[in-house]
Amino acid sequence: MIEDGAVATGTDEVGASGTGNGGANRTHSEAREPVAGLGGPSRARRNEVVLVAFTAMTNLADGVLKIVLPLLAVRLGGSPGQVALVGLTLTLPWLVVSLPVGVLADRADRRVLAIGADLVRLAAAAGLLAAVAADANSLPVLYACGLVVGVAEVVANTASGALVPAAVPAERRSRTNAWIAGAETLANEFCGPAVGGLLVGLGAAVALGSVVAAFAMGAVLIAMLVGRFRPVPASPGCTGEGGGAPSGAGGVVAEIREGLAFVWGHRLLRTLTLTIAVLAASWSAWLALLPSYAASVLEADAAGYGFLISAIGLGGLAGAGLVTVINRLLGVRWALFADLVGTFLMMGVPAIFPAAWAVAAGAFAGGMGGTLWTVNSRTIAQALVPDRLLGRYGAAARLLGWGTLPLGAGLGGLLAEIFGLRTAFALFAVTVAMLPIPFLRTVTTVELARSSGS
């Protein structure tokens, strides 16, 4: 599981920081703009269940689809590059359309956007199902389906992430985000691929029909949220980060600039985003290097490789279940820091101790740290970011943080070609080892307490 440094797929919060550079100084009144009333504990609990169920259902569909599309490309006789291009169509939209989608999420009803995005994904999967049934499938059809699903996923994730502060009261968000992170891990990394492989064995039509049904159920679930989910406009006279104009002023480009400026101008959020950029690159490199490492160094078979990958998911589930306890015992600062330790072990163990059980243990630590980071960083962001900026902040933070994913994979492969696999892992471990100093200087207990309003 790649850690999340943004609000993104629906999760956690803290409060408004008074630190930062220049325009990053903000008041609590702006950070905590009023959102729609939840109507009491029963509605809040209902919204929690809906968000977790929606996350599980749509991530299950995504997990199945990410297995089905490449396998269909293989069956069509696609070359390795053509098959890889299918996966690219699913992720490229995050780099291309995330910023304008963030603007859209700050202008429109976020629940309506999430429903619409799910219906678009449903239509794309249904169209592919019809093409397969009519024996009219082709690589261009797969690419078109992947792009449509990828763009819709950007919309759905950005909108659903911005829904959380209006759907769940502050005191319940950390727990809700933990459940959401667990649902993401379980559905996307365990059940989705496993179910996808099983369903493809039964027939592509069966697999795609299941995807269509899951997206339909997701749209029904998210429609059951109770509350008002249009962005809350800035208070009269309130300007954006760095003195920018309120949402809607100056056009799309100005609004995108405001979202980017908010991320970069806020010292705490900037540090978290830059940290996750390095961690995400390391995770991407690990995933890119592991197949070759498992085969040539560990001499593992397919089952052994699957065991190593599964260790990440197991760690992620453990982190989701223990995040509340760890936060209570260690505090949010050290829970976040655990991801630096976990990623260091994830990269360092393969370099110095090439044993399958040790590499799996490092992956478990990385997966657990990744979930601890995801839950807490989302909680911090949702409390610091004004409601009117949640969509743009989430899109900008993900773009800056996740933009290193292709870089990490490419750099990892290049280093392995030049220096060997173990050295490549070691160099990434050294890079991660440089993060604690800037992290600990900025992410202090005092800063976190100030940002939470305590």
Convert the pLDDT of each residue in 101-118 to its tens digit: 888 988 889 899 999 999
CA dist., res. 32 & res. 268, Å (int): 17
Please give the residue that has the higher pLDDT: either 330 or 177. Answer: 330
Nearest alpha-carbon partner for 377 in 349, 361, 401: 401
Confidence band for 81, pLDDT divided at 50, 70 and 90 = low
pLDDT in tens, 379-407: 888 788 887 888 888 888 878 877 777 77
Please give the residue that has the higher pLDDT: either 86 or 298. Answer: 298
Confidence band for 182, pLDDT divided at 50, 70 and 90 = confident
107-111, 152-156, 305-309: least confident range: 305-309
pLDDT at 365: 95
pLDDT at 301: 74
Tell me the average pLDDT of the chain: 80
Give me the percent of the chain exceeding a pLDDT of 90.
Answer: 28
| Domains of the chain as residue ranges with CATH | 22-31+40-227+251-451 (1.20.1250.20)
Q: Taking residues 160-183, what's their average pLDDT?
A: 80
Asked if 3 and 365 touch (Cβ cutoff 8 Å), the reply is no
Give me the percent of the chain exceeding a pLDDT of 70.
Answer: 83
Angle in degrees, 0-180, between the axes of helices 390-402 and 251-265, rounded to the nearest 10: 70
CA dist., res. 351 & res. 331, Å (int): 31
Q: Taking residues 147-175, what's their average pLDDT?
A: 85
Q: Taking residues 162-191, what's their average pLDDT?
A: 78
Instruction: Please report, in angstroms and rounded to a whole number, the separation of the first and last CA atoms in the chain.
Output: 32
96-105, 126-135, 232-241, 258-267: least confident range: 232-241
